[in-house]
Structure 1
Amino acid sequence: MENIELRGFGADDRDWLVEQHSVHYAREEGFDESFGTLVAEILDAFLAKNDPARERGWIAWAEGRRLGSIFCVRLDDDTAKLRLFLLTPEARGRGLGRRLLETCMGFARDAGYRRMTLWTHESHRAAGALYARNGWSLVSRTPVVSFGQPNVEQHWSIDL
């Protein structure tokens, strides 16, 4: 899988991304349909009112197929939020996650943000390891029941 291209997220990517999140997290984590609903709401809000100078989404492509996504959105004037980071199973283990993360963080830095945050679940161990390797700090852990499953929410941050 060579020549992976990062393209800007567009409306034609929405349904694919909702489906990928819904299917993956139902299969891997037992999440209920409320997770797909949340992803759809996030994407619809992004499409309706994003500020292209300070917010962006990327879709990774190779050989005519989408392989993953990552988004940088505004939390406040100084803080960006990383959202909707996903790699399809066939894209994992090839350095694409690191490339997407570096692209997103570089954009946030260039857009004038001083820090980034993200929210995830402890069960996403590979993602947590990637964040830690790239200088992110685990800020908090909270036991929750979300999307129909017991889990531990994690909040991470990094100064840019």
Structure 2
Amino acid sequence: MKAAITLESVTIRTELRPGDIGYVIYMHGDIYSKEYGYSLGFESYVAESFVEFYKQYDANLDRVWVCEHNEKIIGFLLLMHRGKAAQLRYFIMEKPYRGIGLGKKLMNLYMNELNSLGYESSYLLTVDELPAAASLYKRHGFRLTEEKPFSDFGKPLMEQKYELMLR
């Protein structure tokens, strides 16, 4: 019998290792294709934006949370500096790990770092067909500030921007 997955069985590390970026890009392509029917354009978008992150990475301003279970990456979240704002990016989790409190834990870690690093605000870009994620962002004070039609991921969507003002 397979043991139940618990929050305590997941480890979270805060440094990137070789292979992490490629694997997280793969996770996005695989999960969003299977669960939402996104095209290769989505995976390409994630890959391009990861290159941007890596090229401007600053250990004093940026943070990563790599979630692992049995030595396999099962979730990820990143805080990326954007001047006085921080961007929440690449929040993803394998399906079996949803609903155990890991998303809430990652958001709490994000919020703690956001405050300790002194950012004035934070924002994220998402799409309208992810209501569970939007609910989590709203519970942490993010507000929907922009919405526009978007079709780069192989189907019509509404791109949404959520913002949080801290100071």
Q: TM-score, normalised by structure 1?
A: 0.92
Q: Deviations over 1:69-113 (max 9, x none)?
A: 11111122x210000000110110011011111111211211110
For residue 149 of structure 2, what is the aligned residue in structure 1?
A: 143
For residue 54 of structure 2, what is the aligned residue in structure 1?
A: 47
For residue 129 of structure 2, what is the aligned residue in structure 1?
A: 123
CA offset at residue 50 of structure 1? 0.3
Q: Separation in 1 of the partners of 2:157 and 2:53?
A: 27
Q: Separation in 2 of the partners of 1:96 and 1:10?
A: 21
Moved more, 57-66 or 13-22: 57-66
Q: Separation in 2 of the partners of 1:140 and 1:157?
A: 9
Matches within 5 A, 1:90-129: 90-129=96-135
CA offset at residue 12 of structure 1? 2.0
Unpaired runs of 5+ residues, structure 2, are none
Q: Separation in 1 of the partners of 2:85 and 2:66?
A: 22
Give the aligned CA root-mean-square deviation in angstroms. 1.4
* Contact map agreement 1:54 1:74 (CA 8 A) in 2: yes
For residue 21 of structure 1, what is the aligned residue in structure 2?
A: 28
Q: Identity across aligned pairs (percent)?
A: 28
Moved more, 142-151 or 85-94: 142-151
Q: Separation in 1 of the partners of 2:18 and 2:41?
A: 21
**CA distance 1:39–1:11, change in 2 (3 Å):** farther
* Contact map agreement 1:11 1:47 (CA 8 A) in 2: no
Q: TM-score, normalised by structure 2?
A: 0.89
1:18 aligned counterpart, secondary structure? helix
How many residues of Structure 1 are paired with residues of Structure 2 in the alignment?
Answer: 159
Matches within 5 A, 1:56-95: 56-76=63-83, 78-95=84-101
Unpaired runs of 5+ residues, structure 1, are none
1:156 aligned counterpart, secondary structure? strand
Q: Separation in 1 of the partners of 2:54 and 2:67?
A: 18
CA offset at residue 143 of structure 1? 2.0
